[in-house]
């Protein structure tokens, strides 16, 4: 049920706070979804300057596990003056009161340094940013309360939010006294699925105040959209001073954690809504996207011309030396061959897998085992066609190779059904003869993840050493992993081996 009802006499109030960044495009959805039919009045409080974040703003520098090495919100951003008159024109007919203040980000930077040292920052987030945010929330609440007193007016519900949100819902809910309603999840995945879940709140226990937030990150909060009844808006009065006191009391420097603590103090029950869909708008984002723009298109229309435009070209061969140092794992054999045959020694050094494939000597079984053992130590696994470790719907083993000749569309290569741990990988398929096909589809699948990678590959006869090299990522441990090539009728090749290596 929406809280916007035709028979309601009281309106709802929208309290915008913060910098006027990227507000024009979001205003269209806000007016269509929230302010429609004149059921809302708008209030604004924020600075006379704004930064200009784009769609790359939140990326920063992260390690391989996603932890921030450098948070883009760590440094002060360049700012430009805002056009408050243009903002009022955009919300003409809705805006009842507004105020732009002169306090710059540097002002809050000085306060931040006086309260807590740099080592107390979490995830590289500069506390000056949250101080500015809470100052603006405090300001718009005071502006709103003063307006209500002066005009002897009350409202049904109050929405506290930013000017740069694009909303796809009217935030339907029934708001009772003693509650605060928030979304669950902002934005969408690369495949258009709505994100679920909010920022975690962090452990805090204060014997002097009785404040407690559970460890283990069991609770969460969202500070981008908050809805309370009109009777509860007084609990947000003087929020800036309350935040300063919490920061002085060594509460975690996380805006979500600080708000969570204040809600518990105020007796506000937090109600999260996973059905609410919205996102933060950044310059550079496409205004309209569809199935034609996302990866899921390949699952619906694998040979769509849009996918052909982005087809993968076969890369140059990755030297075997990138995977393993041969002269160390087969040093005895390598030194011996160096004395009797430099050609064979170089063959061993440059491509050990091919060396063992071509060798007819049973004595080489021993160094082959040593080679496989060393590969394993280096997080690499070798799968040889001659042992049936690579499969085909249209091939048979002949000597060291899997000879593939297709008479219809089928999986020319599949397997080896490997069990691999979470991480980044590179795989190398080696062909011992030219490939007769202009295009194939190659994918990586497993029992747990049905689609790890899928690419349309254009094959030509002039690529170096006839290799297909791919990079892909496992988000979890998997079993039964396969590297597959879906081939057209008339496809022919000879596969010798597949090498899979985990990389940092």
Distance CA 432, CA 435 (A): 9
Alpha-carbon dihedral 134, 140, 144, 147, rounded to 10 degrees: 130
**pLDDT in the model for residue 319:** 42
Q: Is residue 5 part of a domain?
A: no
362 lies in the same domain as 432: no
372 lies in the same domain as 384: no
Contact 413/392 with Cβ under 8 angstroms? Answer: yes
**pLDDT in the model for residue 326:** 39
pLDDT digits (tens, 9 = 90+) for 425-479: 988 888 777 666 667 888 899 988 888 988 877 665 444 446 787 888 999 999 9
Distance CA 378, CA 357 (A): 21
Q: Is residue 301 part of a domain?
A: yes
81 lies in the same domain as 160: yes
Give first-to-last CA distance, the chain, whole Å.
50
What is the C-alpha radius of gyration for the chain, rounded to an integer number of angstroms?
Answer: 31
Q: Is residue 420 part of a domain?
A: yes
How far apart, in Å, are the Cα atoms of 449 and each of 115, 188, 277, 443, 483? Answer: 47, 20, 26, 12, 13
Q: Which domain holds residue 480?
A: 297-317+378-503
**pLDDT in the model for residue 493:** 83
Predicted TM-score (pTM) of the model is 0.61
305 lies in the same domain as 368: no
396 lies in the same domain as 453: yes
198 lies in the same domain as 61: yes
Contact 81/49 with Cβ under 8 angstroms? Answer: yes
Q: Is residue 50 part of a domain?
A: yes
Q: What angle do CA 182, 184, 189 make, to 5 degrees?
A: 140
**pLDDT in the model for residue 464:** 40
349 lies in the same domain as 395: no
> Which two structure tokens, joined as six digits, stand for 325?
């140092």
Q: Is residue 1 part of a domain?
A: no
20 lies in the same domain as 100: yes
**pLDDT in the model for residue 116:** 93
254 lies in the same domain as 270: yes
**pLDDT in the model for residue 137:** 98
Distance CA 128, CA 108 (A): 5
Residues 6+ apart with CB under 8 A from 226: 159, 160, 161, 180, 181, 182, 259
340 lies in the same domain as 284: no
Could you give the number of structural domains in the chain? 3
**pLDDT in the model for residue 63:** 44
CATH number at residue 417: 2.60.120.260
**pLDDT in the model for residue 303:** 75
Distance CA 360, CA 377 (A): 26
328 lies in the same domain as 189: no
346 lies in the same domain as 382: no
Among 172, 157, 199, 189, residue whose Cα is nearest residue 279: 189
pLDDT (tens, 9 = 90+) of the chain, 504 residues, equals: 344 444 446 899 999 999 998 899 999 999 999 998 668 999 999 999 987 765 555 544 444 444 444 555 555 667 889 999 999 999 999 999 999 999 988 899 999 999 999 999 988 788 998 999 999 999 999 999 999 999 999 999 999 999 999 999 999 889 999 999 999 999 998 888 898 889 899 999 999 999 999 999 999 999 999 999 999 999 999 999 999 999 999 999 999 999 999 999 999 999 999 999 999 998 888 899 999 888 788 778 877 877 755 443 333 333 444 333 333 434 444 554 555 456 666 665 666 555 555 554 433 455 556 666 667 777 788 888 888 889 998 888 888 788 888 888 888 899 999 999 999 998 888 877 766 666 788 889 998 888 898 887 766 544 444 678 788 899 999 999 999 988 888 888 888 888 888 886
Q: Is residue 247 part of a domain?
A: yes
Q: Is residue 2 part of a domain?
A: no
**pLDDT in the model for residue 228:** 97
Q: Is residue 4 part of a domain?
A: no
């Amino acid at each position: 049920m929406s809280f916007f009802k035709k028979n309601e006499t009281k309106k709802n109030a929208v309290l915008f706070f913060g910098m006027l960044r990227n507000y024009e495009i979001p205003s269209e959805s806000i007016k269509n979804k929230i302010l429609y039919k004149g059921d809302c009045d708008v209030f604004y409080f924020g600075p006379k300057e704004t930064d200009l974040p784009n769609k790359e703003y939140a990326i920063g520098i992260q390690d391989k596990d996603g932890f921030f090495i450098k948070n883009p919100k760590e440094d002060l951003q360049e700012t430009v003056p805002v056009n408050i008159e243009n903002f009022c024109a955009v919300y003409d007919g809705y805006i009842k009161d507004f105020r732009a203040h002169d306090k710059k980000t540097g002002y809050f930077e000085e306060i931040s340094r006086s309260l807590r040292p740099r080592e107390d920052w979490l995830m590289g987030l500069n506390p000056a940013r949250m101080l500015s945010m809470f100052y603006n929330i405090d300001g718009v609440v005071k502006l709103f309360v003063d307006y209500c007193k002066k005009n002897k007016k009350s409202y049904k519900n109050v929405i506290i939010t930013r000017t740069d949100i694009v909303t796809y819902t009217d935030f339907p809910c029934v708001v009772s006294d003693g509650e605060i309603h928030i979304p669950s999840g902002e934005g969408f995945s690369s495949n258009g699925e709505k994100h679920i879940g909010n920022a975690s709140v962090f452990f805090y226990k204060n014997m002097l105040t009785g404040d407690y937030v559970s460890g283990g990150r069991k609770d969460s909060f969202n500070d981008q959209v908050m809805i309370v009844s009109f009777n509860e808006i007084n609990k947000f009065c003087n929020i800036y001073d309350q935040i300063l006191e919490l920061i002085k009391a060594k509460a975690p420097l996380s805006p979500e954690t600080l708000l969570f603590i204040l809600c518990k103090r105020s007796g506000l029950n937090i109600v999260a809504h996973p059905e609410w869909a919205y996102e933060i708008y950044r310059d550079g984002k496409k205004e309209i996207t569809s199935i034609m723009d996302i990866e899921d298109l390949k699952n619906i229309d694998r040979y769509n011309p849009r996918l052909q435009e982005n087809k993968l070209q076969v890369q140059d061969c990755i030297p075997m030396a990138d995977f393993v140092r041969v002269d160390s794992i087969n040093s005895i054999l390598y030194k011996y061959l160096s004395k009797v045959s430099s050609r064979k020694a170089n063959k061993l050094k440059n491509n050990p897998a091919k060396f063992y494939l071509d060798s007819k000597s049973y004595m080489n079984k021993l160094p082959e085992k040593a080679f496989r053992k060393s590969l394993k130590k280096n997080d690499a696994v070798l799968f040889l066609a001659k042992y049936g470790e690579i499969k085909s719907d249209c091939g048979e083993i002949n000597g060291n190779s899997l000879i593939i000749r297709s008479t219809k569309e089928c999986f020319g290569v599949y397997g080896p059904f490997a069990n691999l741990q979470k991480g980044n990988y590179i795989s190398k398929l080696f062909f011992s003869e030219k490939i007769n096909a202009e295009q194939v589809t190659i994918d990586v699948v497993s029992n747990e993840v049905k689609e790890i990678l899928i690419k349309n590959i254009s094959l030509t006869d002039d690529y170096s050493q006839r290799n297909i090299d791919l990079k892909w990522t496992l988000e979890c441990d998997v079993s039964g992993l396969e590297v597959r090539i879906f081939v057209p009728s008339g496809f022919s090749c000879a596969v010798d081996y597949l090498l899979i290596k985990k990389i940092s």
